[in-house]
Structure 1
């Protein structure tokens, strides 16, 4: 099957790169049902608390059961749900369901649990991730003996296969029990490594490039009112306080150089801003030092310059042919 290759329209696609300012109001998240896969720790946990504080209902899915269950209980205690006496009871503010993102049945069970608990799902966010800095597939110390041992594929399965599973299942569950015109979205976590080379983490980077490719391949297809009618975007944080590569030695040098580090709360704020903005589809938010910029529009806008005028025209013609062939 040939993939769809529509040219995608973006916010401010004919203007230079501008900073994204999340416009988050309590009303924007109130009573929304949000499934956060990887929501027990770090950025995911910050997002869960932010959404619950703004009166959303959140289902946390994570492999870390103790922390996930504790967070769900904390959210229920801090932001309880009140139901009018004559009205049907509202679902809980937050629940937890254990999930292994690399196991398809486990991901399916998570969605089934969330759907039965809340009767619908509005937004899905995948913050789950893995980085094994000591697992260098291409270490120059490898010899004929060491190379015989198969390397770990955890970074690949958690960072790419898992989001593929979630996105496939989410595309079905998000369509159900929703009225016409209801806003629905999938937000995937990529990384600055998803578009910029990062030394020492080749498999991690390949997976994050894959997440970017997944979003780009689906943004014209998912947004079609005749297909799924939902939005898909990516968040690309640079260095964050909870980044596994941020050792004390690196942290000290980072601070000495005056380089920015985002907090989990800051990245969560950007993510929530993307969730509530129903004009955003096919975007990638690069986040550094708590600030965010949308990068896809400039890649599209400047394509004729970085690719060259003649290759750009030829590519556009071929992409249209592929689109027509796929549609047929």
Structure 2
């Protein structure tokens, strides 16, 4: 890619960029971050390129945590302009950003997604509680009042109502926001059902409730959720954890599992009945807005009614949209480039 010296910037932006050694401009927007946000951003990339005739942004799926590390690495053309996140930026990530001079950042709430547990349509139906999922996936569990290494190898060993098949769950690695959300919304809540775990001291309880098993039944499958989808369609025993959008896009070959008696759907996620949902975000480096061609226009496309509103093309991809009032606030924030003061 041909690089040219930054010129014609507003003074504040120029100072911010030139203050970093070797900062040069480029002709393509660079975006990193969450694998869950990836398909939504990809749709905006396609729409932007088709409508504007400008170069399509370069989009990389790095996971939420990995994207934050890269995004917060500094200001300048050697760093990305936007990162996607399936959770809000953490305080430690914000401190990293500030340490590296990334202090002018706009946080955009896109809408809502759910965590889904899915399998091939040809596989067994699965309806599980959060407590049963904890028993299936935790490194340590409670058995007869004792905390022991997880002994469960089959779903039916946990409860006779569950399928008599091996526990084989493909899921995200620790760098993924999906993993963070799964631990918070499923594992930590599921472990509350077990008195011996609840009685542990705080640090030990946190360790038991959060640590996923590493003995085989849970497999870290990387940041590419499409690879999980491929594995599910080739193995009827396999189950996958990913954002609802991937289940939505692959519902011809996959089916969702009910969690606590509720199936994932746009309606149950929007209503809150399906209690494994989370907000999705993008973060924009405002010091790049005037330096990188098309960045302002791309942000405008991302928050447009055509993309984010009810009936927009991102809802068609599985995003649960914001209310009209929420969307209006988001659009005003994005247009003004309002800088966040602290993480949400």
Q: Same fold (TM over 0.5)?
A: no
Q: What is the TM-score when the length of structure 1 is the normalising length?
A: 0.24
Query: Which of the pair has more CA radius of gyration?
Result: 2
Indicate the structure with greater helix content. 1
Which is bigger in relative contact order (C-alpha 8 A, separation at least 6)? Answer: 2
Q: What is the TM-score when the length of structure 2 is the normalising length?
A: 0.23
Indicate the structure with greater strand content. 2
